[in-house]
Each structure stands twice: as C-alpha cells, then as structure tokens.
C-alpha cells in the first residue's frame, strides 16, 4: 500500500473494552476515530459510553472533599520519616523514584 489508510472496524466488545482509555484520551488518534465511528453506528455502545461519562462527571462533582491540613502534615511527616529510615539502612535515598 502506498500512503493508503486502512479502515478497520471494531466490534462492540473491543469498543467497550477501551471505554476508559477513550474517555481518558489514552489511545491513538486512529483508535479513537475507529471507536467514534463505531459509536456513531451502535446505539447500545453509545449509551454505555454516555453512562460512563455521566458517572465520571457525577464523581467529579460530588467527590470534592477537602483534606484537612493537619492530615496532610501528618502524612508528609510519616513519608519523610520512612524515607530517612530507608536511607539510614542503605535503602532508597531522598529524591529517588519508587
């Protein structure tokens, strides 16, 4: 093939398997287009994607609890203590990725 774009159709199972990747934007533009074309033709999958989108929106709107500053400070202190303890025994040093 010389520069031709191959159109590959996906089925419902494949589309629904990638629902979160699609919603998170973690797929290639080609795969996103394939799923979008599938959704244009498949009402059950479109409803499933819509449901997942609505669930995410609801969670984002309702799950906005503030973490108390005291708790943040305590967690940071524990992490700092663990990092220093590991460094003291030759483990992970400060700044190293876990």
Asked if residues 35 and 60 have their Cβ atoms less than 8 Å apart, the reply is no
Instruction: Return the number of other C-beta atoms located less than 10 Å from residue 15's C-beta.
Output: 23
pTM of the entire predicted model: 0.54
- The domain segmentation of the chain, as residue ranges, is 12-65
Q: What is the DSSP letter of 92?
A: S
Nearest 10 degrees: CA dihedral of 69, 71, 76, 79?
Answer: -170
Residues 10-47 have pLDDT tens digits of 899 999 999 989 989 999 999 999 999 999 999 999 99
Radius of gyration of the chain (CA): 23
Instruction: Return the number of other C-beta atoms located less than 10 Å from residue 49's C-beta.
Output: 20
What number of CA atoms fall less than 13 Å from residue 38's CA on the CB side? Answer: 25
Residues 46-71 have pLDDT tens digits of 999 999 999 989 888 887 778 889 99
């Amino acid at each position: 093939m010389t520069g031709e774009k191959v159109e590959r159709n996906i089925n419902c199972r494949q589309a629904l398997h990638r629902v979160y990747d699609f919603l998170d934007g973690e797929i290639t533009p080609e795969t996103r287009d394939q799923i979008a074309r599938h959704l244009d033709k498949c009402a059950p999958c479109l409803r499933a994607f819509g449901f997942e989108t609505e669930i995410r929106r609801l969670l984002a709107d309702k799950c906005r609890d503030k973490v108390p500053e005291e708790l943040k400070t305590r967690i940071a202190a524990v992490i700092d203590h663990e990092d220093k303890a590991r460094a003291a025994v030759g483990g992970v040093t400060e700044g190293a990725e876990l």
